[in-house]
Chains A and B, each alone.
Chain A
Amino acid sequence: MTTDGTVAPPRRPAGSGAALPWLGTAVRLVLGGVWVVAGALKLPDPAAAERAVRAYELVPEGVVPLLAFGLPVLEVALGVLLLAGAFVRPAAVASALLLAVFTAAVASAWARGLTIDCGCFGDGGEVDADQTAYLTEVLRDVALLAGSLLLGVRPRTRLALLDRVRPPTRGDSDAHQP
C-alpha cells in the first residue's frame, strides 16, 4: 500500500541509513513482544489484575476495573501492531505515553514507600519489603520508552506489513509520513 514503484529512482548506495531500518525492526519486535506478553499475562486472573491496580493506591475504586481489564487489551493491541509493522508511528506514540505513565506510577509507589510488585507482567500487588525491584522496573520501562521514541521518530523498518522502509523518492523529504 505504501509503494509507488514505477517512479522511484534507483536505490541509493547503502550508506549510514542501511543498518538503521534493521535496528528499528529489532526494537519493534522486542517492544511488540513485550507488550503482547505483558498484556496476555494479565487476562487469565482478572481479580489479581484488580488487586495489582489497587496496590498503587492511585485511582478511585470505580476506575479500577476499567484499568485492570482494559489496559491489557490495549497492550496486546499495541504489541500486535508493532509486531506486524502496521501503524507503527501511532502505536509507538501510544506505547511511549503508556510507558511514561507506568514509569511515573512505579516511581510514585517507590517514593511513597509502598512495597509492591509493579504488576507489569501479571502478578503484581503486594510483596515483602526486601523483594521490591523498583530500580529494575523503572530502568526497564525507560529502556522500552526509548525504543518507543525511536520508532515514533523512525517508524519505517524492514519486515513490516505496512511501514516498510522505502528508497527516498524525488522531491520527498524525510517528513513525508502522515
Chain B
Amino acid sequence: MPTSPDRAPARGRAAARERIAARRAAEQVAERQRRSRRLRLLTGAAVAALVVVAVVVTVVVQSARTDTADAVAPAGTAAGTAGTAFALGSADAPVTVDVYEDYLCPACRAFEADAADTMDELVAGGEVLVRVHPVAILDRLSDDEYSTRAVNAAAVVADAAGVEAFSQFSALLFAEQPAEGGPGLSDDDLVALAARAGATGEDVEAGIRDLRFGDWVAEATDRASRDGLTGTPWIRVDGEDLERPTAEALTAAVEAARG
C-alpha cells in the first residue's frame, strides 16, 4: 500500500478495509448501471419492433380498406375513364372537357350556375365532349357522408335511366345543395330528386338507400386523386387545367384547344 501515509498497522488495516469496501460499492454501482443499461436497450429494441409491426399491420389493414378493385361500376360510363365518368355529347367532338365535382362543393355549384348553359351549347353544337367525374372528397364536411351518398345516387340514376337523366339529376343536386357542416339531403330527398330526373322504381330507391355503388364512388374518387385532383371544381380542357372555373375561361380554353 504505497499510498498509505498511516504508520500504525491497525489504522492501516482499517483504511485498507475501507478502501476495499468502497471499491466493492463502486463495482456494485457499475454492475447495476450495466444491468439497467442492458434492460433499457432490450426494452428499446422491443418498443422499436412493436412500432414496426404496428406500422406494417396498419399499412396492410388500411390498404385492404381502400381496396376497391371489385367495385361494380354503373352502366353508361364513358370510354377512356375506366368507368369513372359519364360523357355528354358526341365522342367525335374535337375537344374533350373533363369536369370533376363534389356535390357538396359550393364552388362547384357556382361553376354550374355560371357555365352549365355554356357547356350545354358547346355539347349541342358538337364542339365538345363533356366528361363528368362525380367525386366524394368532402364527406367530412357533412354529418352523414353526403358527398358519397349523392354520388352514389347519381350513379344509380345513370345506371337506371341513362346519362341524360344523370345530367338532370346532377343539376338538381346542385340546385338543392345543402350547406357544408350540417346534414346532407336525406335519402328520401334523393329518391324524390331521382324521380324528377326520370329515374323511378323500387330498384332505384333500393340502390340509393343501400349505397349500391358505394365502392365505385370510392374507386372513382381514388382514381381522380391519382389523376391529379387537388380540389373541386377541377376542369380540364383537352388535358389542360382551366385556371378559373368560369364560363368565360371555359369558352376561351375551348376555342384555344380547337386552334
> Using a CB–CB distance below 8 Å, which chain A residues touch chain B?
1-2, 4, 7, 43, 45-51, 54-55, 57, 61, 65-66, 68-70, 72-74, 77, 81, 86-87, 90, 114-116, 122-123, 125-128, 162, 178
Chain A residue contacts of B32, Cβ below 8 A: 4
Residue of B nearest to A77 (CB): B51
Cβ A47 vs Cβ B218 within 8 A: yes
B65 CB within 8 Å of chain A: yes
B25 CB to nearest A CB, Å: 7
A85 to B40 CA separation, bound complex (whole angstroms): 13
Cβ B137 vs Cβ A1 within 8 A: no
Residue of A nearest to B102 (CB): A126
Q: Beyond A46-B65, A126-B230, is A4–B33 a contact (Cβ under 8 Å)?
A: yes
Interface residues on B, range: 35 or more
B44-89 contacts to A, CB under 8 A, are 44, 47, 50-51, 54-55, 58-59, 62-63, 65-66
Chain B residue contacts of A43, Cβ below 8 A: 58, 62
Cβ A54 vs Cβ B226 within 8 A: yes
B258 CB within 8 Å of chain A: no
Cβ B66 vs Cβ A123 within 8 A: no
B145 CB to nearest A CB, Å: 10
A75 to B63 CA separation, bound complex (whole angstroms): 19
Cβ A7 vs Cβ B54 within 8 A: no
Cβ A7 vs Cβ B25 within 8 A: yes
Cβ A45 vs Cβ B139 within 8 A: yes
> Using a CB–CB distance below 8 Å, which chain B residues touch chain A?
25, 29, 32-33, 36-37, 39-41, 43-44, 47, 50-51, 54-55, 58-59, 62-63, 65-66, 107, 137, 139-140, 218, 221-222, 225-226, 229-232
Q: Beyond A45-B140, A46-B65, A47-B66, is A128–B47 a contact (Cβ under 8 Å)?
A: no
Our pick among A51, A70, A87 for the contact of B225 (Cβ within 8 Å) is: A51
A66 to B59 CA separation, bound complex (whole angstroms): 6
Cβ B232 vs Cβ A90 within 8 A: no
Cβ A73 vs Cβ B66 within 8 A: no
Cβ A65 vs Cβ B140 within 8 A: no
A166 to B43 CA separation, bound complex (whole angstroms): 20
Cβ A50 vs Cβ B225 within 8 A: yes
Cβ B66 vs Cβ A128 within 8 A: no
Chain A residue contacts of B221, Cβ below 8 A: 47
Our pick among A1, A70, A73, A122 for the contact of B36 (Cβ within 8 Å) is: A1
B23 CB to nearest A CB, Å: 13
Cβ B62 vs Cβ A178 within 8 A: no
B39 CB to nearest A CB, Å: 6
Residue of A nearest to B140 (CB): A123
Cβ B222 vs Cβ A50 within 8 A: yes
Known: A2-B36, A162-B40. 19 other contacts (CB 8 A): A1-B39, A4-B32, A47-B221, A48-B137, A51-B137, A54-B226, A65-B62, A68-B62, A69-B59, A73-B51, A74-B51, A74-B55, A81-B47, A87-B47, A114-B230, A125-B231, A126-B230, A128-B231, A178-B40
